[in-house]
Amino acid sequence: MAHDDSAKTSSSKLVIRNIGLLLSGDLASPILDADTIVAVDGRITAVGREKDVDTTQATMTVDAKRTTVAPGLIDSHVHPVCGDWTPRQNQLGWIDSYMNGGVTTMVSAGEVHTPGRPKDVVGLKAMAIFAQRAFHAYRPGGVKIYAGAPVIEHGMVEDDFKELAAAGVTILGEVGLGSVKDGKTARQMVRWARKYGIQSTIHTGGPSIPGSSLIDKDMVLETDADVIGHVNGGHTALPDEQITELCARSTRALEIVHNGNERAALLALRTAMELKQMDRVILGTDSPAGSGVQPLGILRLISLLSSLGNIPGEQAFCLATGNTAKIRRLDCGLIAPGREASFVFMDKAQHSAGKNLLDSIQKGDLPGIGMVIIDGAVSAHRSRNTPPATVAPEVVK
């Protein structure tokens, strides 16, 4: 049969109108003076006032009904294994549940819970390439999962990192979860990874799984990984003076996780604020883990850091969106032309004591999610996991 090269795929055009509060994801300007977003084929093309942008010929129009729109949330630290199943808790559907918590993008810190995880060099490379390919092709709930994060082991040489990068691997699993537990060896491997465009994360704190061990501030500083993974411990935190020293002496990203020490999380946040380096702070859940699956983990962190860390709610959302996108080199996380059209629609939860969404966050409540859009398409309407939103948006076309 002849192929018709003249056939063209029709474009999709999304218009989101009547936005009450638009959160940009950018710490420099977290609230935008706009009420309308236009996206074509999954990319934002315009942000502004409805009268100033082209809303004609939309294939889908969403009436936000004066609710809040933010970039889709990013979970900087997950441990996926096989599709939407986690053997750690023998649970199905965990990624789709996180999407119902507003997460539209996930970054793997290693597929470490894979039963029989290979630790020889050939096996770990094969597993990483497989995971990268599998999660690129399969997106539970529409969530984008950046996976294929090999845990470094003794015996790896520079050509191994070159081969991984050529195959499409862009991230390392947590340094310290494998056999490499000394700063000198880890630093060399991190440098090889960085040379070929592979980003690294280091485990911080006490051991989390069998085979892991304490990673203290000296090894973290010597290794110089791109991301200081769970600076508040995963689960067990370092002593306070080591956490503050890591914040002060390193220039790398400071990752705060849900499955860590909450007091240490507030300490790390406060230290970053004092250093005027809030742009280094990113958020993750460090899950699935022994403590379970936390579909609302990122929202809970945002509420925790805002209510007890005394930062405005709009800034707290930046830590889970724009900050993470910039550090992880992702094209989501910010509401601006050219960026990925992934959004979470929120309102204060019904009967919250807060006057509005941001006030409710700063009072410690979770928001209600009314809709999640990924790449310009609706992935969920009212969330099945958050408390019900006072007002929810509606697709009107």
147 and 20 co-located in one domain: no
Determine the Cα–Cα distance for residues 332 and 327; give it in Å rounded to an integer: 12
At 103, give phi and psi (nearest 5°): -85, 125
Query: Containing domain of residue 124, as a range?
Result: 73-295
Q: What is the mean pLDDT of the chain?
A: 96
Cβ distance 151 to 178 under 8 Å?
yes
Chain segment 256-275, per-residue pLDDT in tens: 999 999 999 999 999 999 99
DSSP per residue, 255-309:
EEETTS-HHHHHHHHHHHHHTT-GGGEEEE--BSBTTB--TTHHHHHHHHHHHTT
Q: Is residue 209 part of a domain?
A: yes
pLDDT of 141 over the 90 cut? yes
> Which residue stretches of the chain are H helix?
94-99, 121-137, 158-166, 183-195, 217-223, 240-249, 262-274, 297-307, 313-319, 322-328, 357-362
Q: Is residue 7 part of a domain?
A: no
84 and 57 co-located in one domain: no
Q: Cα dihedral angle (49, 51, 53, 55), rounded to 10 degrees?
A: 110
81 and 42 co-located in one domain: no
Neighbours of 122 (CB within 10 A): 10
Determine the Cα–Cα distance for residues 40 and 9; give it in Å rounded to an integer: 13
107 and 49 co-located in one domain: no
Q: Is residue 323 part of a domain?
A: no
pLDDT of 73 over the 60 cut? yes
Largest Cα–Cα separation, the chain: 71
Give the residue-averaged pLDDT of 125-131: 98
Q: Residue 29 has what pLDDT? A: 98
Q: Which of 295, 320, 342 is the last residue of a domain?
A: 295
CATH of the domain at 351: 2.30.40.10
372 and 268 co-located in one domain: no
Cβ distance 5 to 50 under 8 Å?
no
Evaluate the CA torsion angle 259, 175, 147, 69 in order and state its sign.
Answer: positive
DSSP reduced 3-state for 47: strand
Determine the Cα–Cα distance for residues 226 and 327; give it in Å rounded to an integer: 9
60 and 83 co-located in one domain: no
* Residue 69 amino acid letter: V
DSSP per residue, 81-111:
-BTTEETTTTEESHHHHHHTTTEEEEEES--
Q: Residue 180 has what pLDDT? A: 96
Give the residue-averaged pLDDT of 77-98: 96
pLDDT band at 211 (very low <50, low <70, confident <90, very high): low
pLDDT band at 1 (very low <50, low <70, confident <90, very high): very low
Q: What domain count does the chain have?
A: 2
Q: Is residue 223 part of a domain?
A: yes
Pairing state of beta strands 85-86 and 60-63?
unpaired
Chain segment 360-394, per-residue pLDDT in tens: 999 999 999 999 999 999 999 999 999 999 999 99
CATH of the domain at 88: 3.20.20.140
pLDDT band at 208 (very low <50, low <70, confident <90, very high): confident
65 and 88 co-located in one domain: no
Give the residue-averaged pLDDT of 167-176: 97
Determine the Cα–Cα distance for residues 191 and 375; give it in Å rounded to an integer: 34
Q: Is residue 324 part of a domain?
A: no
Q: Is residue 66 part of a domain?
A: yes
State pTM to two decimals: 0.96
The enclosing H or E element of 374 equals strand 367-374
| Residues contacting 359, CB < 8 A, separation 6+ | 313, 348
182 and 269 co-located in one domain: yes
Determine the Cα–Cα distance for residues 231 and 220; give it in Å rounded to an integer: 10
pLDDT of 207 over the 90 cut? no
Chain segment 324-353, per-residue pLDDT in tens: 999 999 999 999 999 999 999 999 999 999
Q: Cα dihedral angle (187, 192, 198, 203), rounded to 10 degrees?
A: -20
Give the residue-averaged pLDDT of 111-115: 96
